[in-house]
């Protein structure tokens, strides 16, 4: 059976109102990733940050002031540069893709404290859930289909869509051996949906880790990223539907 929707389809994201905080990276030194501590995680604050090329990440899993980051260089995945191996193409046939049907489960998987380098605290989970309710955050899910037709969430990703920007926050796959490619399947589906959307699109992955580089991620200097971001913010947010139109 298909997983139930966790919210009615959002036609257009809802602006939360003016932000109490402003973000300016013009004074950041080249090669400096960390900007500072403070502010809050209200929806308007988060949107102001993403529109400025900034995102939050705690410096500790303990409850403390929030850290704000603008990596230089920045990791992005060019939509025409995604690398899909032969084995990943084969894996795609084993999963069903869904969008926004299991957002909370995806975030729980990403926030599992047993994961190496886990950083997603309870306050972060709550903040992005508020943005999700307003239509700014999306999950892309890979479901494993059993022989009896039942489905199980095998992996997925979530991120923030603002105009033509999709800022990937985190991805995960389940513990079963057959789940290992599930997060990659979700990423491939996301890229295909963004490719199908009109206008300039930017897939931000924050840092180009070895894993993401193997999938086509590249690094761009902060000024180049900000130019790409400005162009992306000029187009409407995508309507992520699977399969893409």
The structural domains of the chain, with segments of one domain joined by +, span 34-69, 74-232
Classify strands 165-173 and 202-206 as parallel, antiparallel or unpaired: parallel
Confidence category of residue 3, pLDDT binned at 50, 70, 90:
very low
Confidence category of residue 64, pLDDT binned at 50, 70, 90:
confident
pLDDT of residue 50: 98
Q: Over range 15-42, report the average pLDDT.
A: 95
Give all strands (DSSP E) within the chain, no chain letters: 34-37, 55-56, 67-69, 74-76, 95-99, 137-145, 151-162, 165-173, 202-206, 218-220
Q: Is the confidence at residue 63, as pLDDT, over 90?
A: no
Q: Over range 169-191, report the average pLDDT.
A: 95
Those residues with Cβ within 8 angstroms of residue 148's Cβ, 6 or more apart along the chain or in another chain = none
pLDDT of residue 119: 79
Which of 3-7, 45-49, 67-71, 222-226 shows the lowest per-residue confidence on average (mean pLDDT)? 3-7
Q: Over range 123-144, report the average pLDDT.
A: 97
Q: Over range 57-73, report the average pLDDT.
A: 87
Q: Over range 189-212, report the average pLDDT.
A: 96
What's the chain's average pLDDT? 92
pLDDT of residue 2: 43
pTM, to two decimals: 0.93
Q: How far apart are CA 49 and CA 60, in angstroms?
A: 20
**Contact (Cβ atoms closer than 8 angstroms) between residue 109 and residue 174:** yes
| Residue range 74-232, CATH number | 3.40.630.70
Q: Is the confidence at residue 216, as pLDDT, over 90?
A: yes
Q: Is the confidence at residue 9, as pLDDT, over 90?
A: no
Q: How far apart are CA 212 and CA 224, in angstroms?
A: 19
pLDDT of residue 5: 47
Chain center to CA of 55: 11
């Amino acid at each position: 059976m298909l997983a139930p929707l966790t919210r009615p389809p959002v036609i257009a994201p809802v602006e939360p109102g003016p932000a109490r905080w402003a973000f300016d990276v013009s004074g950041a030194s080249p090669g400096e990733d960390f900007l500072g501590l403070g502010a809050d995680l209200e929806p308007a604050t988060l949107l102001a940050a993403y529109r400025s090329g900034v995102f939050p990440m705690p410096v500790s899993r303990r409850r403390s002031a929030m850290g704000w980051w603008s990596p230089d260089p920045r990791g992005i995945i060019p939509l025409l540069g995604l690398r899909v191996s032969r084995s990943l193409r084969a894996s795609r046939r084993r999963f069903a893709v869904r969008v926004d049907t299991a957002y909370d489960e995806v975030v729980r998987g990403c926030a599992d404290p047993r994961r190496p380098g886990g950083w997603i605290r309870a306050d972060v989970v709550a903040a992005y859930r508020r943005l999700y309710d307003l239509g700014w955050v999306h999950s892309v899910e890979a479901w494993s289909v059993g022989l009896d037709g039942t489905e199980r969430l095998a992996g997925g990703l979530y991120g923030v869509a603002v105009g033509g920007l999709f800022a990937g926050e985190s991805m995960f796959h389940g513990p079963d051996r057959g789940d290992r490619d599930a997060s990659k399947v979700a990423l491939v589906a996301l890229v295909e949906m963004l490719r199908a959307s009109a206008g300039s699109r930017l897939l931000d992955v924050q840092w180009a880790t070895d894993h993401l580089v193997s999938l086509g991620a590249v690094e761009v200097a902060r000024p180049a990223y900000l130019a790409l971001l400005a162009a992306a913010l000029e187009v409407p947010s995508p309507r992520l539907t699977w399969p893409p139109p």
